Structure 1
């Protein structure tokens, strides 16, 4: 099915993959893991043909996928047999609506309208997409976009599936559904290579684990052997847990503020997009800005809309945000806030990481500590858009801490991070809190929240619940 012999990839004069030897048999499910920037996404892009078809890179060695030597002579024919989900689902959307996105691949290959409708109905039922049909792709939350990307990849009867962080931005209910979908694909005899940091939902499905470090294949182990050696490998390679992480019960209680001058009071917070039902309805909420607040809830529950209102990016005249009775206008909240977005590509503008960090920095005295804590020293001269997803997240988090803003709001900051870098982010957020900053983290990452949050707010259908 897949054969790589002494494969090396060079991009921007840097060896990204180094002498990779790998065989994947038909019907296997291989989990590809390793620290952020180890070459996982690059290997996926080599296997799906995007390097060098669309992205620059020199490939050395011999590669065969689906009996086709790579790079393929006929790229369009080659990719017809491969289902792909990218780390950032926005990069694979071709249309504006959910329905047209699902239909796109089959329309592109000339299937009849009857076949498309039949398959679409099956996929909608399989992936529980009834609540998303009729919506525009741009209206969806990050997790909902991930679901549509996965469903779209399954519209055609592919033999091979390549998934790059398919669980990123997904809540735990949807991750369980994702696991069920992957199990179904495996039962149908499909071959799957899944690049992931989150390992727990694949632990009963994986046949093998392949671990990369600095572009080298460090481990290639059957699942049973990997699990037997996991404590040693986890410490050596900085891997996430094999068990589903749980939030401690004590974290799910709101803490009472000690200092009323450090309480943000929110009243009559409602919001409704022009063509949709109300997405927020919060009569009253007090938040101690001395806490590191974790904001949790299922995909589409209103978390991102809430923080956009909190930070002043969205406005509505009906609500009020105040401290000690003094109202904070949207303009004042924008001046206080730095948001690390779910899609950090939208906020990386400069030609080097160093310039990205320094141009807006108001805390230059923290520069060296932040760079070292987030393992960015070796990336300072790199272009931010050439980094891995996890590396981009670390750059955006560093920018937030150095910005001098009083409120740091982070939307899924660790979705692409390995365990060690997740701990580094946790350490820095606690340091930011010690400097008097208000830190609010939207996350489905219970490992991060258990390490970091002093208060958890849970949102469901636009309301906060106990």
Structure 2
């Protein structure tokens, strides 16, 4: 179905090498997972299949990419649109409507499918992918998992032969990942050819035919699912691959600085009569990396915004060492890194983004510290790059760098490992543990259990805006978390 013949591609504007002499055959009805570190070439492979390279991402292309025997470079995008469905990392980047049913119809409308058939396809897709409860909904009011399911549904209504998915699980919680795995299984049962670029591999072990390991624009190795399961931890680490079964990991976080207790008191948030948060009192260890866990909509982000005094409807106090911090004082105490970091990157280059968070009293010292922060986050060499020209993972790390540079006592990070590969996830974990050792308290909103086990020493579980569990991330705590997410 898909064939790469000695393909080399270099992106035009920055002369960045995407692929180097790649040859690959993907059979009709096969499910292939592309794995490897960020920047290895996985996304470039998917873009060559759905035509975004060279029709959207320009550059120098050598060799041939064939789809069912036809050169993709000879096909127009509108031809490919009916043949290849795409599901991207952030579904919002591929939505053209504000209402879910209209979004499901959009691709078919562009292909000129008659209205009656479009309605039939939407009904069929809603039944096949369990989307009936998501029809006629405002896309802006949906959770990340619901948006991703609509993106899958939009691809399904086109009825393509091939579906490419680029890191589709990066912003999803564990139940939503299970829903995504069910969609992938359904497509596999239908005989569709699936190509999935992904860092999180655990949910694909039961549906993939093979895992193709990409490094520096080349295909280096291939694994059958059973081979990947048996790889030793040190081999996975050397390859930069995430754990095939993160629940087997032992808690690895060091104890925090143990400098006292942070007490959250009377945290509440009510919007239009809907109670989004209700925490009468919660005692948490100071100087620790604390995981805030729960399903999408459980209240994690509302808690974080209330803690940082960013939530207008939020109420409550924080007490540290007998000092009570109301909303105004907390704005100088806490700093938040948002899930969508595009909302908080303002400067013309990466180094100025960090300097923006500093006090500016000693410019030379600030510049040296900014360089050190960039190195610690694997961003050395990016100092002069415009923040918006960076990759998603690089933007995420730059925003974390801004939080470090701000020097606040409490840092809140919303999905800091979204889109990060193993090596960079481990790097961020090390930076956060080092900050906690210096007495900082870090709240990490995450769905990434592997990151929790490698970084966090304490966990709080939320459901319906209320705390249902809080404990250390030790053996007993991990057993509880496993049951909680099950």
Q: TM-score, normalised by structure 2?
A: 0.85
Unaligned runs of 5+ in 2: 360-365, 470-486
1:422 aligns with 425
2:126 aligns with 124
Q: How far does the alpha carbon of each residue in 1:127-186 deviate from its partner, in whole angstroms, 9 at most, with x for none?
A: 444554454222233333223222322222111011011111212122122212111111
CA distance in 2, matches of 1:244, 1:123: 32
Compared CA separation, residues 349 and 65, structure 1 to 2 (3 A): farther
2:6 aligns with 6
Choose the corresponding residue for 1:289, options 283, 286, 293. 286
Q: Secondary structure at the match of 2:184?
A: helix
Q: How far does the alpha carbon of each residue in 1:217-264 deviate from its partner, in whole angstroms, 9 at most, with x for none?
A: 22234445555556564132111111243687999xxx9x873xx423
TM-aligned CA deviation for residue 456 of structure 1: 0.7
Q: Secondary structure at the match of 2:295?
A: coil
TM-aligned CA deviation for residue 431 of structure 1: 1.1
- Alignment length, in residue pairs? 460
TM-aligned CA deviation for residue 37 of structure 1: 1.8
After superposing the two structures, state which structure 1 stretch, 405-414 or 342-351, moved more.
342-351
1:401 aligns with 404
Choose the corresponding residue for 1:52, options 51, 54, 62. 54
TM-aligned CA deviation for residue 201 of structure 1: 0.9
Matched, 1:315 2:312: yes
1:263 aligns with 262
Compared CA separation, residues 180 and 330, structure 1 to 2 (3 A): same
After superposing the two structures, state which structure 1 stretch, 298-307 or 326-335, moved more.
326-335
1:196 aligns with 198
Compared CA separation, residues 306 and 118, structure 1 to 2 (3 A): farther
1:279 aligns with 276
Compared CA separation, residues 19 and 348, structure 1 to 2 (3 A): farther
1:340 aligns with 337
TM-aligned CA deviation for residue 114 of structure 1: 4.0
Q: Secondary structure at the match of 1:154?
A: helix
CA contact (8 A) 1:291 1:439 kept: yes
1:10-49 residue pairs with structure 2 within 5 A? 10-11=10-11, 12-49=14-51
Choose the corresponding residue for 1:458, options 458, 461, 470. 461
TM-aligned CA deviation for residue 84 of structure 1: 0.8
TM-aligned CA deviation for residue 99 of structure 1: 2.7
Q: How far does the alpha carbon of each residue in 1:330-350 deviate from its partner, in whole angstroms, 9 at most, with x for none?
A: 443333333222222333334
1:58-77 residue pairs with structure 2 within 5 A? 58-77=60-79
1:64-463 residue pairs with structure 2 within 5 A? 64-129=66-131, 132-227=134-229, 233-245=235-247, 259=260, 262-272=261-271, 274=272, 277-316=274-313, 318-323=315-320, 327-361=324-358, 366-463=369-466
Q: Secondary structure at the match of 1:245?
A: helix
TM-aligned CA deviation for residue 73 of structure 1: 3.8
CA distance in 1, matches of 2:453, 2:19: 34
Unaligned runs of 5+ in 1: none
CA contact (8 A) 1:348 1:356 kept: yes
CA contact (8 A) 1:32 1:40 kept: yes
Q: How far does the alpha carbon of each residue in 1:2-26 deviate from its partner, in whole angstroms, 9 at most, with x for none?
A: 1112222212122122222211111
TM-aligned CA deviation for residue 409 of structure 1: 1.1
2:363 aligns with none
CA distance in 1, matches of 2:202, 2:304: 29
